[in-house]
Amino acid sequence: MRVVVVGSGASGVHFAQTALARGHQVTLLDVGRERPAAPAPEAAFDELKSELDDPVRYFLGADFEAAVLPGDGGEFYGLPASQRFVLDTTSQHASRESGFHSLTSHARGGLAEAWTGGVYPLNDGELADFPFRFADLAPHYEEVARRIGIAVVDDDLARFMPLPEARQQPLALDGASARLLAAYERRRAAFHAAGCYAGRSRLAVSSAPRADRGECTYLGRCLLGCPRDALYTPSLSLRHLLTEPDFRYVPGAFVSHCQWDRARRVTGVVVARPDGGEELVAADAVALAAGALSTARIVLDSVRRASGEILVLDGLMDNQQILVPFLHLGSLGRAPEMRSYQYHQVCLGLADDDPREYVHVQLTMLKTAIVHPIIQRLPGGLVDGTRIFRLLRGALGVANVNLSDSRRGDCQATIEPRAGAPSTLVLSYRPAPGDEERTARAERRVARALGRLGCLVPPGLSHRRPKGASVHYAGLIPMGGAAAPLTAGADGESRDVGGLYFADGVTFPFLPAKNLTLTLMANAVRVARAAL
């Protein structure tokens, strides 16, 4: 069978790998912007300034495009220049948005090329709206764990996220993270009484050598792109796929729409060329794995091309993220550990009577992050702010708080046709009723938990990121439920077009608070096994 996969992100590469394992010929279409080569791959972060010929260009970019200027949306983090390729787009992509601020990736590997490695399976409470349970997804979680490597330890977070059998030893903790967990252990009963549980982050990072990747040697370069490939990204799976004889990778391919026959059976996809021309890639089955937003645009443009209709898809979702800076008093006066894993190593899980209202919190100690967004918020101007930051740096951290989201009729996607180009994607999002109270309650619970850990939470510095900033997009073509147009069956197949499968988050009927990348990969494996 000729299988065409659209997109090389987390969903696409794992669908493709499964399809190949089942004996099919696979073509993966992708825009495919490549990651620049990592300079001085054996150098630690604190050695790069002296080893690179032009460290300023490497860290901030040729035109200082990686600098986060005052008033730039209130963000605490800047994307390093070496990772800017992840968000590069083409002129073929266009969007217009209201109440939503999406990010699109045309990178080889997609948005997960710049992720933080957090992998958290969903439990039955979080899967209540899905047409399957955890037991149905468990074998596919295990398959993904074997493919990517997951560093995890059994701890109090296991009540929210079952442990994979195929797991690696956890990474070494940096000192500040270790002190946070020690504070939790001392007051464990009080935390549990408040419905708060702590433990180690589940990370897609090699803690020991693998056949295809090096292990983490704590170079402190995670934010810049791991030069040892210890931090899993989808482009590593693509690298493996390129060695397979029945796999064909086509970069530079921006997919405009799908085509189908009179029996409404998919016949292929159309690639839009920059010169306005088009090329049909024939297929017996198509898996859309371009990310929920791009997949939705392809579907909407496909319907418009076939019937002239411009439809509206309901149910756009994204996690609300809140960034809460804190000062861990037990780490005051200690130097930050540059040679360590740089993203979050500690997580908090805030339980609720309704498991759908679980709140997921990742604690990141600031070590090698681009720090000028923090300094410019400190009192006294640049000079005094820099002095204060140097004194506090080893104790500074940020809690990334994630809330769940649900499908609603007033959160939508549609298109506007463009002459000679794929349509413009039009997105609109409105907060749910009671969203303000729900968000404020989560902030209060997190602040109390941080206080029990011995942290000071400065008032007025929390930042509620705009919807779309978490890039956990989902929900526009839901799976399960009653058969209806613009939905998918439990196997991920479109109920409108035979042989058209959805392998990304566009089919998720609910968006839990956890990072969904692991579930995207596991679901893509599940769909490929069911479909092929």
Question: Per the structure, how many domains does the chain have?
Answer: 1
Buried b (16+ CB within 10 A) or exposed e, 35-56: beebbeeebbbebbeeeeeeee
| pTM of structure | 0.95
Radius of gyration of the chain (CA): 23
The pLDDT value recorded for residue 75 is: 65
**Residue 69 in this model has a pLDDT that exceeds 80:** no
102: in domain: no
The pLDDT value recorded for residue 372 is: 58
Using one digit for the tens of pLDDT, what is the confidence trace for 433-452? Answer: 999 999 999 999 999 999 99
Q: Helix, strand or coil for residue 381?
A: helix
| DSSP letter (8 states) at residue 406 | E
Using one digit for the tens of pLDDT, what is the confidence trace for 75-90? Answer: 666 778 888 899 888 8
166: in domain: yes
Residue that is written with structure tokens 């990204």 in the block = 233
138: in domain: no
Using one digit for the tens of pLDDT, what is the confidence trace for 321-361? Answer: 999 999 999 999 888 888 999 999 999 999 999 999 999 99
361: β partners: 348, 401
d(CA 176, CA 329): 10
Do 236 and 11 meet the contact criterion of CB atoms below 8 Å apart?
A: no
Residue that is written with structure tokens 């008033």 in the block = 71
383: in domain: yes
182: in domain: yes
Do 364 and 291 meet the contact criterion of CB atoms below 8 Å apart?
A: no
Q: Which of 374, 415, 419, 378 is nearest to 397 (CA)?
A: 374
219: in domain: yes
399: in domain: yes
Beta strands 25-29 and 2-6, pairing class: parallel
119 contacts: CB under 8 Å, gap ≥ 6: 148, 150, 202, 203, 204, 515, 517, 518
303: in domain: no
Q: Which H/E stretch holds residue 415? A: strand 412-418
d(CA 310, CA 290): 20
The range of the structural domain enclosing residue 393 comes to: 45-87+151-232+320-403+432-466
d(CA 8, CA 250): 10
Using one digit for the tens of pLDDT, what is the confidence trace for 484-518? Answer: 999 999 999 999 999 999 999 999 999 999 999 99
